[in-house]
Amino acid sequence: MKKHYLFVRRGLLVFSSLLLLSCGNKNHSIKMKGSDTEVNLAVNLAEKYTQIDAEFSIAISGGGSGIGITSLLNGQADIANSSRPLSDKEIKQFEDKNIKVHTVVFAEDATAFVVHKDLPINEIDLETLAKILKGEITNWNQVTTVDLPINIYGRQSSSGTHSFIKKKLKIEFSNAAKEMTGNAQILEGVKADKSGIGYVGAGYISHEVSANPTVKILNIKETATSQAFSPIDAATINNSLYFFQRPLYQFILEDSWEKVKPFIDFESSEIGKKIIIDHGYYIIERP
């Protein structure tokens, strides 16, 4: 996974350079910002698409769904990647500015909860998980046989994943939770911390676990006595059995739609779908 991550970072630099080199061509230059969950996938989709359309150029950056949506509101992006829908407040902000957007759901994701491989726990129920993230359970000896203080590795409040977990569990995160900037930072934290727990996109973690099993994914069960499900099992996601699964969105300025549409169409092509699946995500057929 580390090699793949470095490749993506190089890709980001390449696309930024392409944008600068083609800044005079406003019809093909696109800015995409937002969800850290989607950024690696977006880079690889864009890299493949540039092989088809040599004039296409795009600058891609993450930072969180909220940052992408704010950039769209401020005219600093054409596409906002988001792992959550627009909030009522954001919808009103777009309406107040008379900004119209197209909404595309191009994949389905699941949020995985990860711990260090040596921690003696393989599954967790929602009530226990909520108590950990709220800070009501603070030591693993309340859940396992290990006496270790629990360290929470989470995301910043601008993250769509952060908001998603809060809403699903109906909680406020513990003030002791560490706020990391993205999936990679959370994983590095948990790898080095036998008492850590964090949450990342299942598409991001699925390849990491198989290539470098320093962390493990917890199966999630809704109650203490119910069946536990894995976020990286295709059958589970296809049957909507995993509690933390969700659609992935792209919000596109109406004024940018014509120049962006060929890329959006590419995402739903057979090539695009294969890239999405290879990243560990699931395909949502658009009506």
Give 3-state DSSP helix, strand, coil % of the chain, rounded to 5: 45, 25, 35
Report the 10 Å Cβ neighbour count for 238.
Answer: 12
Residue 283, domain member (yes or no): no
Same structural domain for residues 28 and 63?
Answer: yes
Same structural domain for residues 47 and 77?
Answer: yes
Same structural domain for residues 216 and 131?
Answer: yes
Query: Quick one: DSSP state of residue 48?
Result: H
pLDDT tens for 218-256 read: 999 999 999 999 998 888 988 889 999 999 999 999 999
Residue 285, domain member (yes or no): no
Beta bridge partners of residue 216, listed in sequence order: 115
Same structural domain for residues 80 and 141?
Answer: no
Residue 284, domain member (yes or no): no
CATH number of the domain bearing residue 29: 3.40.190.10
CA distance 80 to 64: 10
Structural domain for 169, as ranges? 109-238
Q: What is the dihedral of CA 43, 220, 167, 264, to 10 degrees?
A: 20
- pLDDT value of residue 184: 87
Does this model's pTM top 0.85? Answer: no
Specify the number of domains making up the chain. Answer: 2
The dihedrals phi and psi of 152, each to the nearest 5 degrees, come to -100, 125
pLDDT-based confidence at residue 8 (cuts at 50, 70, 90): very low
Same structural domain for residues 81 and 127?
Answer: no
The dihedrals phi and psi of 245, each to the nearest 5 degrees, come to -100, 155
Same structural domain for residues 219 and 266?
Answer: no
pLDDT tens for 171-207 read: 999 999 999 988 889 999 999 999 999 999 887 776 6
Residue 287, domain member (yes or no): no
pLDDT tens for 15-64 read: 333 333 334 344 568 999 999 888 889 999 999 999 999 888 999 999 89
CA distance 104 to 97: 21
Residue 207, domain member (yes or no): yes
Angle at the Cα of 43 (from 13 to 280), degrees rounded to 5? 140
Residue 11, domain member (yes or no): yes
CA distance 180 to 191: 14
CA distance 23 to 1: 33
